Amino acid sequence: MSSSYTTSDEILGMDDQNQMLLFSQQFYPDSYNQLIPQEIKLESSETKPKRRRRKNKGGDVLSSEDIKVGNSLMKKRKLTDLQVTLLEQNFGDEHKLESERKDKLAAELGLDPRQVAVWFQNRRARWKNKKLEEEYSKLKSSHDNVILQKCHLEAEVLQLKERLSETEKELRRVTEQFDGVSICSPNSSFSVDVEQHYLGGEFNMVEAGYDNLLYIPENNWVNLYGF
């Protein structure tokens, strides 16, 4: 990427004169020209090595991150509340930052346009992360609801199975009671009575959800679906 703005690494590599020039631009926003002179850009970009930013623990060399407060230099990189408020307002209006608006905002805030661009970039990233987090928690909560529902349904299935088993026992008991009596004959009026009794009467199988049962003379009641 090629940038019109000077990085702190580039500043660190400058001679004293250029450092002072940039220093005055950086710390006196009113007179800050916003654009780094071409000579400085060329000098630094041509020798720009591809490496990570270097640490600046010594503090003996001015960097673009130093800010003048009153008459003294402070290691203060944070933007002021007012600057942040205005940036937030602008971000609220529009997440994208056109070049014209960037320059206007930078002039208003006394910041480098590059700083404004970076702030918007980081703000968009934070916004995106927040959106992702919100989306995640929504999905998680709906997932939890589905799991809960599944548990309830499983419990219900268990309950129904138990009832089914009890009913089967009861049926076996009843059929054993009538063992030897011809209740299986389709022509038997007793058979019809039993069917009516269990399918539509006291044990309404359909309503009870037991409509998957079929009565076969040889096997008594058979579950059509395996449970």
CA angle 67, 69, 73 (to 5 degrees): 60
Phi then psi for residue 74, to 5 deg, are -125, 150
Biggest CA–CA distance in the chain, Å, is: 117
Cα gap 123→88, rounded to integer Å: 9
Nearer of residues 64 and 194 to DNA, judged by Cβ: 64
Residue 86 Cβ, how far from DNA at the closest point, in Å? 12
CA distances from 150 to 138, 145, 159, 227 (A): 18, 8, 14, 19
Nearer of residues 124 and 220 to DNA, judged by Cβ: 124
Residues that bind DNA (CB under 7 A): 1-2, 4-5, 7-9, 50-57, 64-65, 75-79, 84, 96-99, 114-115, 117-126, 128
Nearer of residues 51 and 173 to DNA, judged by Cβ: 51
Residue 20 Cβ, how far from DNA at the closest point, in Å? 18
In 3D, which of 115, 36, 35 has the Cα closest to residue 77?
115
Nearer of residues 109 and 194 to DNA, judged by Cβ: 109
Scan for tokens 């270097």, then name that residue. Answer: 54
Nearer of residues 98 and 179 to DNA, judged by Cβ: 98
Nearer of residues 15 and 98 to DNA, judged by Cβ: 98
Beta 213-216 vs 220-223: how paired, if at all?
antiparallel
In 3D, which of 123, 61, 114, 56 has the Cα closest to residue 91?
123
Residue 17 Cβ, how far from DNA at the closest point, in Å? 19
Residue 59 Cβ, how far from DNA at the closest point, in Å? 8
Residue 105 Cβ, how far from DNA at the closest point, in Å? 12
CA distances from 156 to 23, 51, 104, 136, 160 (A): 75, 64, 65, 30, 6
Residue 23 Cβ, how far from DNA at the closest point, in Å? 14
